[in-house]
Structures are given as structure tokens and as C-alpha cells.
């Protein structure tokens, strides 16, 4: 499931490969609905044709391909979406929905087994609205232990639910939320508003550590993630919580448990991540 490190891995490869290239063809495969327009009355395929890719960007899990004349393609991979770089004459890949032909005889292909992912043609107003809707990037200096705790104090519900909310912090998904909570020893069902500033600090440091490690490893390939060259990421073997239910905690040896929190499969250590505050020894 592509989260921030996976999307950033894709962005870096795409950036060094297609920057400056011009779109020479747009070919739909079995699910044309993958390409949308956020600008009413504008045909996305016709509009992107013959424009060049002038910059790439990322905001949370959204990948942006900025074209000339002020329009952008906003890509969201959701769960099983993939962007691939292949020669223009290559056969369609499995689950391919869109082929974007480039003027160097390469194609940027979008494939998605489950058809949840989208490529949206957007103007600057749409990009700005997206930017405002999302919370800070995890590495933003404006995000501090104090600001995080402050946000959490005014929020109902469980910490895991809060961390999955892209308007609190942008870019975390189920894998890195579980990893971050495990590293910071916070129970996923802890009520957000009860976190101390010390815990918020631990949590923020854990989030940054977990994401940086994943990015260094070019993402977590648990089931299907691949970079645009079809290569897997190597972060899966570094995961300490996600996918390890029933296995021993690498800190204390207890058996990791699996529950459902915020509607998501959740793995945690019942000993290292007690439901009480770690500061509460009563």
C-alpha cells in the first residue's frame, strides 16, 4: 500500500526520468475512468496532450506532475496503483489503464488491479485546495511535539484514527502508523487527547524515523508495491509491528497481538504499548 515513502520513491524516479519530456499520446486501456478532470468541461486527455512535464511534486500520498501552461496531473495510487516506465512499444502491463506516451519513446503507464487509484487533471486552484485540506508534511519544521499534542487535544477518538487522518499529518497509512506507534510505545487505542507532550514528542520522532528508514529502503514491498522500473522496495524486512502479529516483540519477546482499530488491521505489543500512559505508574 503506497504511503509517503513509496510515493516519494516513485516521484524521485519519475523526476529524474521524465522531466522536460513532452506528452505525445494518451492511450486508454481497460478502465478509462482512471483519468479524470477536476476542471468542469475540460477533457483531460486532450488537454495534457503536447504539454511538457516541467516539475514533479508530492503532497502526502499525492504525486504531482506539473505540466506547462499551468495544469498538473495529480496521481493517487490508493492501494494497488502503480506508475511504470516502459518503452513505448512494450505490451500493456497487467491491469494497465492508461499509457502516457513521451517524446523520448518511453511511456508512463498507470496500472491498478483494483481500480481505486486516479489520475486527475488539475489547475492551480485544485492543487491549492488539496494543499489546504492536508495536514503538514511529517518533516515540516512547523510540525512540533507541541503543535501535534495541541491538535490531538482537541480531537475525539483514538490515536490510530487520528494518525490515519490526512488532515492531521499528511502521508501516513496503516503500515507506518502501526510502526510509529510501536516505536513510540503508544497503544493504538489510546485516546488522542490524553497524550502528554512527552508522548507526542516520542511519537513525532518515531514517525520521522520510520518514514526516513522506509524512504532509504525505497519503500515497503509487502504485497505489490513496485517503483516505476518494476523494482521492489526493501523496507519490509525492517518492519517491527506491521505483518508480525503472533510473532515475538523485538523489544520484549511478548507475542504481538492483532486487533481492529479504526476499521483497520492493527498489530501492536500489549506489553510495550500498554493502554495506560507510560507516565502513569499507579
Partner DNA sequence: CATTACCTGCAA
Partner DNA sequence: TTGCAGGTAATG
Which residues are catalytic, by number? 2-3, 61, 264
Among candidate residues 228, 234, 231, the one with its CA nearest the CA of residue 82: 228
For DNA, how many residues bind (rule: CB under 7 A)?
Answer: 29
Q: Are strands 35-37 and 118-123 parallel, antiparallel or unpaired?
A: parallel
When asked if residue 3 is in the footprint of DNA (CB under 7 A), the reply is yes
Q: DSSP 3-state assignment of 18?
A: helix
Which triple of cell numbers denotes residue 5? 515513502
When asked if residue 164 is in the footprint of DNA (CB under 7 A), the reply is yes
Helices marked H in the chain: 4-18, 44-48, 124-133, 145-153, 159-164, 174-184, 197-216
**DSSP, res 191:** B
Applying the rule CB under 7 A, the residues between 9 and 48 that interact with DNA are none
Among 46, 116, 129, 275, binds DNA (CB under 7 A): 116
When asked if residue 246 is in the footprint of DNA (CB under 7 A), the reply is no
Q: In terms of CB distance, is 95 or 101 closer to DNA?
A: 95
Q: In terms of CB distance, is 20 or 32 closer to DNA?
A: 32
Q: In terms of CB distance, is 61 or 101 closer to DNA?
A: 61
When asked if residue 174 is in the footprint of DNA (CB under 7 A), the reply is yes
Q: In terms of CB distance, is 111 or 206 closer to DNA?
A: 111
Among candidate residues 106, 82, 99, the one with its CA nearest the CA of residue 48: 99
When asked if residue 166 is in the footprint of DNA (CB under 7 A), the reply is yes
Give the C-alpha separation, 54 to 19, whole Å: 6
Q: Find the shortest distance in angstroms from Cβ 102 to DNA.
A: 26
Q: Find the shortest distance in angstroms from Cβ 59 to DNA.
A: 10
Q: Find the shortest distance in angstroms from Cβ 133 to DNA.
A: 7
Q: Find the shortest distance in angstroms from Cβ 77 to DNA.
A: 8
C-beta separation of 56 from 98 below 8 A: no
**Cα 61 off chain centre by:** 4
Among 1, 169, 181, 239, binds DNA (CB under 7 A): 1
Residue 17: exposed, middle, or buried by beta-carbon count in 10 A (0-12, 13-18, 19+)?
middle
When asked if residue 109 is in the footprint of DNA (CB under 7 A), the reply is no
Q: Find the shortest distance in angstroms from Cβ 91 to DNA.
A: 17
C-beta separation of 256 from 244 below 8 A: yes
Stretch of residues binding DNA (CB under 7 A), selected from 16-24, 63-71, 111-119, 246-254? 111-119
Q: In terms of CB distance, is 68 or 139 closer to DNA?
A: 139
Give the C-alpha separation, 247 to 244, whole Å: 5
Q: Find the shortest distance in angstroms from Cβ 1 to DNA.
A: 4
Return phi, psi of residue 130, to 5°: -65, -45
When asked if residue 263 is in the footprint of DNA (CB under 7 A), the reply is yes
Question: Which residues contact residue 280 at a Cβ distance below 8 angstroms, ignoring those fewer than 6 apart?
Answer: none
Footprint on this chain of DNA (rule: CB under 7 A): 1, 3, 60-62, 76, 78-80, 113-116, 155-158, 161, 164, 166, 173-175, 242, 260, 262-265
Amino acid at each position: 500500500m503506497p504511503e509517503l515513502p513509496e510515493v516519494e520513491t516513485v516521484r524521485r524516479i519519475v523526476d529524474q526520468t521524465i522531466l522536460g519530456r513532452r506528452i505525445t499520446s494518451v492511450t486508454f486501456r481497460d478502465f478509462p475512468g482512471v483519468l479524470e478532470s477536476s476542471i468542469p468541461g475540460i477533457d483531460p486527455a486532450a488537454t495534457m496532450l503536447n504539454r511538457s512535464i516541467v516539475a514533479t511534486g508530492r503532497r502526502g500520498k499525492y504525486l504531482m506532475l506539473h505540466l506547462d501552461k499551468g495544469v498538473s496531473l495529480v496521481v493517487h495510487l490508493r492501494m494497488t496503483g502503480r506508475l511504470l516506465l516502459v518503452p513505448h512499444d512494450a505490451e500493456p502491463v497487467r491491469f494497465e489503464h492508461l499509457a502516457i506516451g513521451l517524446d523520448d519513446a518511453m511511456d508512463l503507464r498507470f496500472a491498478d488491479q483494483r481500480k481505486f487509484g486516479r489520475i486527475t487533471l488539475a489547475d492551480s486552484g485544485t492543487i491549492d485546495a488539496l494543499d489546504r485540506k492536508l495536514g503538514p508534511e511529517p518533516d515540516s519544521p512547523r510540525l512540533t511535539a507541541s503543535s501535534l499534542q495541541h491538535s490531538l487535544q482537541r480531537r475525539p477518538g483514538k490515536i490510530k484514527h487520528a494518525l490515519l487522518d490526512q488532515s492531521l499529518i499528511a502521508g501516513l497509512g496503516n503500515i507506518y502508523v502501526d510502526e510509529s506507534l510501536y516505536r513510540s510505545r503508544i497503544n493504538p487505542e489510546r485516546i488522542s487527547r490524553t497524550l502528554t507532550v512527552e508522548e507526542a514528542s516520542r511519537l513525532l520522532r518515531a514517525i520521522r524515523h520510520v518514514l526516513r528508514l522506509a524512504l532509504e529502503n525505497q519503500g515497503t514491498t509487502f504485497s505489490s508495491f513496485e517503483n516505476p522500473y518494476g523494482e521492489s522496495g526493501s523496507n519490509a524486512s525492517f518492519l517491527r509491528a506491521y505483518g508480525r502479529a503472533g510473532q515475538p516483540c523485538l523489544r520484549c519477546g511478548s507475542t504481538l497481538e492483532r486487533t481492529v482499530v479504526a476499521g483497520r488491521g492493527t498489530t501492536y505489543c500489549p506489553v510495550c504499548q500498554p493502554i495506560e500512559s507510560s507516565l502513569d505508574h499507579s
